[in-house]
Copies of this chain bind each other. A is one copy, B any other.
Amino acid sequence: MSEPVIRFTRGVPPPETFPKERLAECACAVLEKYGDVVLQYGPSAGFTALRQWIAAESGVEESRTIIGQGSLHLQDMLARVLLEPGDVAYVEEPTYDRTVTLLRRSGARVVGFPLGAEGPDVEEMERRLKDGERPKLFYVIPDFQNPSGMVIPLETRRCIAELAREYDFWIIEDSPYRRLRYAGEDVPALFDLCPERTVRMSSFSKLISPGLRVGYAVLPAPLTKPLLKYAEDSYINPSYFNQAIVYEYIQRGYLDEALPFLKSLYAPRLQAALNALDREMDGLADWVRPQGGFFVSVVLRTAVDADSLLDAAAKAGLILSDGRGFYVERDGSRFIRLPFCALTVEEIELGIQRLAQVVRELTTETARR
């Protein structure tokens, strides 16, 4: 294995982004100001001041917000509340693997819509809906998707919103990367296009720290009561302490200061990844060109055996995630996720060089057989 080993695996923020001193300062302030509240039991919805901030940001009432131990956990509870065994759940394909696990754990039959240049295949979706399929929800990551990096164009978002209205399903809009845009303009959120059918989910994991476990959801009114009840039954309440720290961090202006810092750290890494792909992978694969987030992804032009690819990459000092893990019905062997956020420019270049080398060798070998 070549040194250094390059890990294109999990999309986690690098430790140099963790604002340790500022969080310590906020933790102390929180215990002094809100100690009696954050150290006691409380309602399941979360720390009031942070709920108010989230509500104001989305222009809704505080009562429609819930803060939990990371947004994945809120998704889990939402799946439990919304899905009966046998219900259909729509997702993009590829999509975030952990959510698929949770949807299936709640008994859902998960149907994937392939991502193309225009986002998920909404024509296929409409066909299935017209044929009578009745999904309970569509789980979608419209901004800088994990794992593909893709942003869904406005036109497709409009179609999704229309279909949700017409066929009465919930849109679960997971957008933890939305505020990490390095260039270009925001596309209106599904929540903006169809607030009455959309659950907006996000978290502070990518903006402050994943370890604080502070994720949230903004819910259509009919979903709030059942979700809050489910949460209370499950764990009484989440840690207000962590939520109050996030609130204090925002109040002190630290989040506003952190955003340009994070963008200035990640933007050159994204650019390095795209440049390296242009240089190394031309003709070998296709890829999207995200303007933000944590991920670039490539789809190989030639079929390869996924296990051989992972093995050969590991031998070349390159650890990849199994592309098939992000697919639900179709084969993901040719899909490779490249999380660039926690790697230096040099590591990204070296990694993509190795990737190109491995792919070239494998496809030559395949052609030879």
Q: Give residues in A with beta carbon < 8 Å to B.
A: 10, 12-13, 15, 18, 20-21, 23-24, 27-28, 31-32, 35-42, 69-70, 72-73, 76, 98, 101-102, 105, 209-213, 233-242
B residues in contact with A27, CB < 8 Å: 24, 27-28, 31
Q: Known A209-B40, A210-B39; judge A239-B242 contact (CB<8 A).
A: yes
Q: How far is the CA of A240 from the CA of B241 in the complex (A)?
A: 13
Contact assessment for A23 and B15 in the assembled complex, using a CB-CB cutoff below 8 Å: no
B residues in contact with A32, CB < 8 Å: 20, 24
Residue of B nearest to A242 (CB): B239
Q: Which 4 pairs between the two chains have the least Cβ-Cβ distance?
A: A73-B235, A39-B209, A27-B27, A39-B211
Contact assessment for B70 and A210 in the assembled complex, using a CB-CB cutoff below 8 Å: no
Contact assessment for B76 and A234 in the assembled complex, using a CB-CB cutoff below 8 Å: yes
15 contacts between A and B (CB under 8 A): A12-B41, A13-B40, A15-B40, A18-B35, A18-B39, A20-B39, A40-B210, A40-B211, A70-B236, A72-B235, A73-B235, A102-B233, A210-B236, A211-B240, A213-B238
Q: Known A27-B24, A40-B12, A233-B102; judge A238-B69 contact (CB<8 A).
A: yes
Q: How far is the CA of A40 from the CA of B211 in the complex (A)?
A: 5
Most chain B CB within 10 A, of A10, A36, A69, A240, is at A69
Q: Known A27-B27, A234-B76; judge A18-B36 contact (CB<8 A).
A: yes
Residue of B nearest to A229 (CB): B101
Contact assessment for A212 and B15 in the assembled complex, using a CB-CB cutoff below 8 Å: no
Contact assessment for A69 and B235 in the assembled complex, using a CB-CB cutoff below 8 Å: yes
Most chain B CB within 10 A, of A212, A237, A239, is at A239
CB A247 to nearest CB in B, in angstroms, measures: 14
CB A40 to nearest CB in B, in angstroms, measures: 5
Q: Is the interface of A mostly helix, strand, loop or mixed?
A: helix
Q: Known A24-B31, A72-B234; judge A15-B36 contact (CB<8 A).
A: yes
Contact assessment for A235 and B35 in the assembled complex, using a CB-CB cutoff below 8 Å: no
CB A18 to nearest CB in B, in angstroms, measures: 4
Residue of B nearest to A215 (CB): B235
B residues in contact with A38, CB < 8 Å: 211
Q: How far is the CA of A19 from the CA of B205 in the complex (A)?
A: 28
Q: How far is the CA of A292 from the CA of B211 in the complex (A)?
A: 36
- Given contact pairs A15-B35, A38-B211, a sample of 13 additional A-B residue pairs in the complex whose CB atoms are under 8 Å apart: A13-B40, A15-B36, A20-B31, A23-B39, A39-B209, A39-B210, A39-B212, A69-B69, A73-B234, A73-B235, A76-B234, A211-B239, A239-B239
B residues in contact with A70, CB < 8 Å: 235-236
Residue of B nearest to A342 (CB): B40
CB A13 to nearest CB in B, in angstroms, measures: 8
Q: Known A36-B15, A36-B18; judge A41-B210 contact (CB<8 A).
A: yes
B residues in contact with A40, CB < 8 Å: 12-13, 15, 18, 209-211
Contact of A241 among B21, B212, B234 (CB under 8 A): B212
Contact assessment for B28 and A15 in the assembled complex, using a CB-CB cutoff below 8 Å: no
B residues in contact with A102, CB < 8 Å: 233-234
